[in-house]
Every structure is written in C-alpha cells, then in structure tokens.
Chains A and B, each alone.
Chain A
Amino acid sequence: MSKAKAGIVVFPGSNCDHDAYHVLKNVLSVDTKFLWHKESAVGDRNIIILPGGFSYGDYLRCGSIARFSPIMKDVIRFAGRGGIVIGICNGFQVLCETGLLPGALMRNENLKFICKTVTLKVENNKSIFTSKYMIKEEISLPVAHGEGNYFCSEEKLTALIGNNQILFTYKDNPNGSVSNIAGIQNEGRNVLGLMPHPERVSEKILGSDDGRRIFESVAESVI
C-alpha cells in the first residue's frame, strides 16, 4: 500500500479536479482528498495536485489571482519544504504565476483554444514524475487550453536544459511553446508543471492510459 496522500486543490473555477481525483482515488487507490481554496493548510497531504480549469475565471491572466488564494500560500511553503506538487494545465499556469516554476504561459500562437491529442517525448525519466517511462519514449496525451504557449528567457531556457528540468516536449508543437516545451520540473525536482492532461488518458477505456504512469511514478516515490 502506497504511503501517498494526495490533495487536489479546488479553486472555484477548477473543472478537472474530479478527473484527477478519480484517477488517484478510484484507478490507483491512493488516499485522496480535495483541498478547498479557502483552506489555509495542506495538512497531512504529501502530494498536491493543482488541477485544470479556470481557477478564478481567469478573465485576467490565467492563474494570476489564484496565486493569492489562502491555500496557495501553504502550497508554496509545502513546495519549499520539498513537498511534491503537480500542476496540470491551469495548475501549470498557477505554478508559473507563483514562481514555483520559471517562465510563463502565453496565448496559443493561433489564438484559438486547442483540444486534441498530441505526441509527447519523454526527455528525462530520472525524475519522480517520469520514472516509469523510458527515455525518449513517445506517448499520446490530450491538450485542452487557450494559453499553453510556454515562454521563458534565453537564460532560463539554458538553465532548464542544463539542469535536465525539461521532462516532456511536443513532437509536433501545437501552441508555439519555446523549445517545444510541454512540461518542466523545478530545480528542486519536486514540482512538475505540464500543459497536457495525463488524467484524461489513465484508463484504457478512454482510448489510452499513457498518462497514468505519471501518477504511478509519483505515488511510488512516496515512501
């Protein structure tokens, strides 16, 4: 039995919160609960998921209000202590806004919302998030976002590459991301942000379970 205790942060506009919950709780039998955005502590949780959605409507820049929410204050402290945090889609945007991850996510290059399955390359399998993949393995994950065009400065990009922080890249870049970046980890290697949705492909019945190993890798890393 895994010692993982997952907490899914629920912002009022989160809409993939139940999807992440379903995979962890029902598919992988991980002890999982929701964390309401007005709560001020992550409590006994040792994995925090920031799910997809539109945190506070995101009519302003995506995730820019979420970073000030009570729960995020403690998520930042938690990450600072080395706690595991995964931001998916809107969660990735929130992580960039809080500074837990470098860079920013801009409007897609074609200025449209894009929902489709894309091929990703696993660039690094020596992380707690990707240990169950093979290096350079190609996996299919769906994206669904209007602002997934990752950008960072030249300097930061060099650092991302040098520190092996880039975990996933797009084979066929859908949104204009710099260096085809789809997902990165922080320097401390305990925070992951990615635009594609692994929770949407974690059961064969949904067409693929290519995303499931991210959650399995993380759950196993908790000992």
Chain B
Amino acid sequence: MKEPEVTLELAKSLGLLEEEYERILNILKRKPTYTEIGIFSVMWSEHCSYKNSILEIKKLPRSGGRLLVSAGEENAGLVDIGDGLAVAFKIESHNHPSAVEPYQGAATGVGGILRDIFTMGARPVASLNSLRFGKISIDGFEETTSSEAEAERSKFLFKHVVKGIGDYGNCFGVPTISGEVYFEKCYQDNPLVNAMAVGIVKHNETATAKASGPGNPVFIVGSSTGKDGIHGATFASEEISEESESKRPNVQVGDPFTEKLLLEATLEVIKSGAVVGIQDMGAAGITCSTSEMSAKGNCGMEINLDKVPLRDKNMSAYEIMLSESQERMLVVIEKGKEKTAKDIFEKWDLNCAEIGKVISENKIKVYHKNKLAADIPANELVLGGGAPVYKREIKVPKYINSKRNFDYNNLKEPSDLNETLLKLLASPNIANKKWIYEQYDTQVRTNTVLLPGCDASVIRIKNTNKALSVKVDCNGRYVYLNPYKGGMIAVCESARNIVCTGAKPLAITNCLNFGNPYNPEVYYQFSESLRGIGEACKILETPVTGGNVSFYNQSKDYAVYPTPSIGMLGLLEDIDKMTTSYFKNKNDVILLIGNCRVNDKSELKDNFQICGSEYMNTIHNLVEGDAPDIDAVYEKKLHDFILELTGKSLLNSVHDVSDGGFAVAIAESCIMSPSSQLGCEINFNYRGRKDFCLFEEKQSLIIASADRSSINTIMRTAEIHKIECLEIGTVRGSRLKINFDIDLPLNALSGSYYNSINSIMEK
C-alpha cells in the first residue's frame, strides 16, 4: 500500500492548522513522513495537547494540601490519606465516541479511566460517572413529532451508555457506586459521558509514568494492536456533525476481561520491582505513551513496530502508531529483570513483547520493516514542550444580559403545591436513579458501606477505621446562566454532598465539557467557570489533582451547557461517624442549617434563588435569570460546623438542599431510607411567594435531624460557629406536611420519585 504524499492539505484534513504545519516543518527541518504527520496531528490535537485550555487550567490550585503529586505530573492525582496509603483518582470524558456508539463509547471510557488508576500501582476501588442526555420524555411543552423522535434517540443513548458502563465495570470487578445524570435539550446531539475512578495504593508501591535509564527495554503488554480507534483523539477534537456517524470505526472496542487480567498483572509487576516506568495506552496509543514517557524522563525511545503483537498483519506504521486498541500498556523494565516481567504476564496469559529501548537522545525513533518511519524530538510533541499553546479570545455571551433581565415575579403561581412537588419528584433530573444503578454491581469487593441513592457514596478501607466518600456533581444550568458562580457552586455542592456523609472534602478532579473554544463566547464560559472553580477550591482547601478537557461538544448552531463536572474525594477518619440523608427516628427534631432565611422577613422580597432552578425548568419550562448566589467562605464555615456535629455523633441525618429546593430535600429525607420511611411535620413562616420559598435552590443549606436531647448542644455550637440553625419540625407519622400547603402520604412521594425513570425507560 502506497502512503499518501504529505502536503498542507493532508495536514489540514488531519485537523492541523496551517501555522501548526509550518511549525512541524521548522521542528524537523524537512517534510514529515506520513507516519510523522499522523503522530503530530494526534499529539497536537486538543485532546492530547490541551493547547486551548492549558493557560486557564494553570490558574487552578494544583498542589498543596494532601497532594503527593501535582496535577498533570502523573496519570492521575495522588492524595495522602494517612496509614501509609494514598488515593489515586481521576475523571475523563468519552463524549464523542458515546454519541456515535453509546455502548462501546461508554465502556471504553470506563476502561480508560480504570487504566489511568492502576498504572499508578493503585487498585481501583470505586467507579463513578457523570452523564448528560437530551430529554427522555416529552414534557408537555413541545409536543411535536420531532421532540418525540428526539426523546427516543436520547433513551437509546441513555440505555446503551448505562449498559456499557455496567458491563465493563461489572466484569472488571469494580463497584460503580455513584453518579449523576441530567436530561436537557442542549445535550440532544452531544451527550456527555464522564467516567471517574478511584484507587488505593500504598505509598511505597506507586509507579511513575516517567521513562529513564538508557538501555532499559521497552515492552508493550496486554491486548494485541488492531485497526480500531485510529484517530480517536482527533475525532474527540472536532464538532459532532452529520459526518460523525461515519466515525463509528474510530470508536474503540472494550474487553473488560482482558482489562481485569491487565490490572492483576500490572499490580503484580509493579510490586515485583521490575518496573522503571509505566503508562497506559489511551488516546493516541503507542504514539502518546512513548512520547509522553520520554518527555517526562527527558530521554527518548527507539521502537521497532515489527515486534508489536498485531491483530492484523497488514497494518502500516501509521496505523500501528495511531491505533487506540484498548487494554494495552507501555512498560519500561529495568534491564536484567525482563524475565520477572515476562513470567508475570505469561501467568495472566497476556502479551508481553519487547519492542524497543530507552535512549538518551530526546527522540522518538520508530522503525517499521527496516525503515525509519518516524524520527521526532519527543519534547516537541507534548504539552509543556513543543505542543502549541493558544490564548483564546473571550467575549461575554449575548444571552447573559438578556437572561439577567428576566423578572421571575411574573411567573404564574401554581394552584396546587402538592401536585407541583410530585411533578418535581418525578422529573428525571430529580427522580431516584435506581433504574441506572441496579444495573451496576455496587458491592463487589465488599467495601461499599453507603450505597448509591444518598448525597454521596462511601467505601470503607479494610484494615483501617477509615472510609472514602465520593461524589461527582455539576449543575450545567447554573454554569450556563453564570459561569463564574456556576463553577463555584459545582465545587461547593460536591463538597457539601461529601460533608453530608460525615466526611471531610480533600481534593477534586474535574472534567471540563464545553463547546468550541474558537467561539469567544464559549471561551468566556470556560474561563469564567474555571475562575469560579479555582476560587472555591482555594477556599474549601480542596486542590485540583487533575482531570480532562473536552471541547467541541457542539453541533450545528448550539453548544451544550458549559458542564465542568467535579469529582470530589472526601475522607472519614472514623467510619462510625458516617451519616446518611434520611430520617431515622420518630420524634427527632428537624433542623434547617446554614443559609436559612426562611423566617427572615427583612430579606428583600425579590431576593429569591429561584432562577436556574429545576422548578423553573420543569414547571415553567424556563431557563432564565441568574444562578443562585454562593459564598464559598460561608460554605466552608458550614462544612466545619456540620463536621463538628457529625464528629460528635449529634446528627441522625444530614441532607443538602439542591435540585428542587427545600420541599424536595425534605421529601427525600422522608423516603430515601432503604428500610423504613418516616413522615414529618414542618412549620415555618413564608417570607414571600410560597412556591419560591418551597422550591428555590438556595446554596449552603442543610436539612438535618437530631435527638431532642442533643438540640441544646447543637444550638450552642451553632452560635460559636456563627451558623444559622433553626428548628423547623418533627419526624412523625407517614405523611409529609409542610405548613398547610403540602400534605402528602409517603407512598405518593415514593411513587413519583422511585418509578419515574423506570416507567419512561420500560414503556
């Protein structure tokens, strides 16, 4: 097969800009070979190079606290949790592949992030995900045939993404314990599939992704290399269009069984002491792993592609270098320890082929059929080296001002608040997600002590008294209305969820899903939301350990809501202090804690946090106004207060107010218990319109319950912390009663909350 001639046109067709092609000519001082232009095109794609995002990302707090490595240094972040243990965790997107092939796209997303974790020497202990789709039900606002077809399409994507995530994690043997999903029109053509993994490693058993020691042999281990996923990274760096359907062959195919073998073999070989450096092969396969490992180690590699185990003998150098076949690793072994490594991989029936060696010259030299197919300075390929870095133009989006002018006082007041509450509980954005998580193995490895369905999920760490609390969160609607506040809220809310389980927030990983960065309005959303995230992380002392950027979540004329998913890690030093979100005992006192304002009549009448709410979205079909206010300093004070109370076992339940507001949160506390549901009676004075008071989404607000005998201590502590804490009702009966306006039996609440998604999906 004859290779195409390298020209500017070819470079452009591979996604490179003219200036980038010029730059390549300058670096090489000659015309690149076909293989070389392929290598540059994937390494300088947005997905691998972060060329349009890195300047903003660098503004985030990326070190300090309990971080053992700074963000970007290794395959995933590493956080110290004491007892000689560390947690590796990271979130990554697989949006584009999932848009065209939802099952494999989602499955390989999970596979990729798991490899990032066990490449560090950590055993994965939990998997999470953050998903976005178009609407799965027609909400009555736009009953056209096109919306029906759109809903069917979204259901198809949703169903297969969930199955892909489940099948991969279930077979691999990691519990999938937490997640979030929203259904909004803006995700119709661009679903978001973000997968997160968490692993645990002993400090002295971590591995590095750095190559070193000239002469050390380089191995490729795991699956054979095939023609699947070629140019996946490039595909991820462009907009979804009608042509995207033709990109289905760019989607990789997952094999969770091989991944499980690779996990065990990798951990074993790292423990054996034979490994110098190791990196998984995800985007851009051999290309990315060889160049990044070399660049990090300030050395180079000589690779002979004839030694790579192939699924198809007729692969060209270009194809082998760019294949994104899954379940592979690149390993640098200490010279003399080759046999140790080979024996381990043989035990697990995996390929382990020596394909080259580390060289001192900072170059990637690739040989194929006795010819030098590529010869590129490694450093020129990577982020922080020669990869281009662009400062993008920023412009305040036009919609922001017009949205801000919205006056919510003109909203029609619902006549029946009971009906409104039931409708909100049944909104797929709020309704219980068991249709999803019952397809995930949530308990394998017998560590899950708090199953999905509460504010966050908790896994114990065997042989210690500790537990990890994990959560992923982002309200894209808030970020859309106000990128700065929305970014801040995403961090604050995920931390609040962690705090609701009694755990202390430690650090975050983020997955930044945005539209086209060349659109200055999109870049405003990006830059501003990152500013919000950074500020919140500084105040909450939860540094960013790493993550992933996914641009080009855009099609035709609209982009997705800016959706920076925050994966939050928290630590419970004493597992006995874990709290859950549902009421436990009859006659317990119900408390409203934090940013209450419920009884505050002095509050300006028009200061309701109703815009951007699920109430406005579901009941009024509007996304208008500004995101809710957030004060991260107050948020931190609230967390410290709650953790002091849970640390003294003073609270019987803790739940945060979020989507659907106060009324939904109270209803959830009544019905979230897996065993016995409990009703309650709530009384407070409205400070304005009832619907606003019940459904506004005030931030930094917690609903808790406690023994009557603990109330004095709690109130005294609240005074010391200067946190508002109000007694608003009692746990009793089998109905939810709020003032004289909400009065519903628990089975009505449960019916809406638990059956909604199931009835849509199994129709």
A residues touching B (Cβ–Cβ < 8 Å)? 12-13, 15-16, 18-19, 22-23, 26, 38, 52-54, 56-59, 112-117, 142, 144, 146, 197, 199-200, 202-203, 205-207
Choice from B163, B255, B439, B445 contacting A115 with Cβ under 8 Å: B439
Contact A112 B439 (CB under 8 A): yes
16 sample A-B contacts, Cβ–Cβ < 8 Å, listed by A number? A12-B264, A13-B171, A13-B260, A13-B261, A18-B445, A54-B257, A54-B260, A57-B257, A112-B438, A113-B166, A113-B167, A113-B439, A115-B440, A115-B442, A205-B460, A207-B449
The smallest beta-carbon distance between A11 and chain B, in angstroms, is: 10
A58-B167 Cα distance, complex, nearest whole Å? 12
Contact B172 A15 (CB under 8 A): yes
Task: Tell me, yes or no, whether B348 is within 8 Å of chain A by CB.
Answer: yes
Residue of B nearest to A116 (CB): B438
Whether A12 touches B443, Cβ cut-off 8 Å, given contacts A57-B171, A113-B170, A206-B449, is no
Contact A12 B438 (CB under 8 A): no
Whether A13 touches B257, Cβ cut-off 8 Å, given contacts A113-B166, A205-B449, is yes
The smallest beta-carbon distance between B45 and chain A, in angstroms, is: 32
Q: Which residues of A contact B255 (CB under 8 A)?
A: 57
Task: Tell me, yes or no, whether B575 is within 8 Å of chain A by CB.
Answer: yes
For the A-B complex, the count of residue pairs with Cβ-Cβ distances under 8 Å equals 88
Q: Which residues of A contact B261 (CB under 8 A)?
A: 12-13
Q: Which residues of A contact B575 (CB under 8 A)?
A: 205
Interface residues of B in 394-410 (CB under 8 A from A): none
Task: Tell me, yes or no, whether B682 is within 8 Å of chain A by CB.
Answer: no
Interface residues of B in 652-681 (CB under 8 A from A): 674
Residue of A nearest to B265 (CB): A12
Interface string of B62-98 (1 = CB under 8 A from A): 0000000000000000000000000000000000000
A170-B552 Cα distance, complex, nearest whole Å? 49
A62-B444 Cα distance, complex, nearest whole Å? 18
A114-B446 Cα distance, complex, nearest whole Å? 17
A56-B448 Cα distance, complex, nearest whole Å? 26
Whether A56 touches B166, Cβ cut-off 8 Å, given contacts A115-B440, A205-B449, is no
Identify which of A38, A59, A116 gathers the most chain B CB atoms within 10 Å of its CB: A116
A206-B349 Cα distance, complex, nearest whole Å? 35
Task: Tell me, yes or no, whether B567 is within 8 Å of chain A by CB.
Answer: no
Residue of A nearest to B170 (CB): A113
Q: Which residues of B contact A56 (CB under 8 A)?
A: 257
The smallest beta-carbon distance between A94 and chain B, in angstroms, is: 15
Whether A22 touches B462, Cβ cut-off 8 Å, given contacts A116-B438, A144-B441, is yes
Task: Tell me, yes or no, whether B515 is within 8 Å of chain A by CB.
Answer: no
Whether A22 touches B444, Cβ cut-off 8 Å, given contacts A12-B261, A15-B260, is no
Contact A19 B348 (CB under 8 A): no
Choice from A16, A202, A205 contacting B444 with Cβ under 8 Å: A16
The smallest beta-carbon distance between B437 and chain A, in angstroms, is: 8
Task: Tell me, yes or no, whether B173 is within 8 Å of chain A by CB.
Answer: yes
The smallest beta-carbon distance between B117 and chain A, in angstroms, is: 16
Q: Which residues of B contact A142 (CB under 8 A)?
A: 443
Choice from A53, A57, A114 contacting B438 with Cβ under 8 Å: A114
Choice from A19, A23, A116, A207 contacting B445 with Cβ under 8 Å: A19
Contact B171 A199 (CB under 8 A): no
Choice from A12, A52, A116, A202 contacting B349 with Cβ under 8 Å: A12
Contact B257 A59 (CB under 8 A): yes
Contact B171 A200 (CB under 8 A): no
The smallest beta-carbon distance between A51 and chain B, in angstroms, is: 10
Choice from A13, A117, A206 contacting B446 with Cβ under 8 Å: A206
Q: Which residues of B contact A144 (CB under 8 A)?
A: 170, 441-444
The smallest beta-carbon distance between B457 and chain A, in angstroms, is: 13
Contact A12 B446 (CB under 8 A): no
A18-B267 Cα distance, complex, nearest whole Å? 15
A15-B347 Cα distance, complex, nearest whole Å? 17
Contact B257 A200 (CB under 8 A): no
The smallest beta-carbon distance between A60 and chain B, in angstroms, is: 11
The smallest beta-carbon distance between B544 and chain A, in angstroms, is: 32
Whether A12 touches B439, Cβ cut-off 8 Å, given contacts A144-B444, A206-B446, is no
Choice from A15, A114, A197 contacting B439 with Cβ under 8 Å: A114
A135-B66 Cα distance, complex, nearest whole Å? 53
A38-B173 Cα distance, complex, nearest whole Å? 21
Contact A197 B173 (CB under 8 A): no
A52-B175 Cα distance, complex, nearest whole Å? 14
A59-B443 Cα distance, complex, nearest whole Å? 22
Whether A200 touches B446, Cβ cut-off 8 Å, given contacts A59-B257, A115-B440, is yes
A153-B497 Cα distance, complex, nearest whole Å? 51
Q: Which residues of B contact A199 (CB under 8 A)?
A: 446
Q: Which residues of A contact B257 (CB under 8 A)?
A: 12-13, 54, 56-59
Q: Which residues of B contact A58 (CB under 8 A)?
A: 171, 257
Q: Which residues of B contact A146 (CB under 8 A)?
A: 170
Contact B462 A115 (CB under 8 A): no
Q: Which residues of A contact B163 (CB under 8 A)?
A: 112-113
Whether A197 touches B443, Cβ cut-off 8 Å, given contacts A12-B260, A15-B260, A113-B166, is yes
Q: Which residues of B contact A203 (CB under 8 A)?
A: 446
The smallest beta-carbon distance between B536 and chain A, in angstroms, is: 33
Interface string of B104-122 (1 = CB under 8 A from A): 0000000000000000000
The smallest beta-carbon distance between A126 and chain B, in angstroms, is: 29
Interface string of B446-474 (1 = CB under 8 A from A): 10110100000000101000000000000
Q: Which residues of A contact B171 (CB under 8 A)?
A: 13, 15, 54, 57-58
Choice from A12, A115, A197, A202 contacting B348 with Cβ under 8 Å: A12
A219-B257 Cα distance, complex, nearest whole Å? 32
Residue of A nearest to B434 (CB): A116
Interface residues of B in 252-303 (CB under 8 A from A): 255-258, 260-261, 264
The smallest beta-carbon distance between B247 and chain A, in angstroms, is: 26
Q: Which residues of A contact B460 (CB under 8 A)?
A: 205
Contact B166 A19 (CB under 8 A): no
A197-B166 Cα distance, complex, nearest whole Å? 18
Q: Which residues of B contact A26 (CB under 8 A)?
A: 462
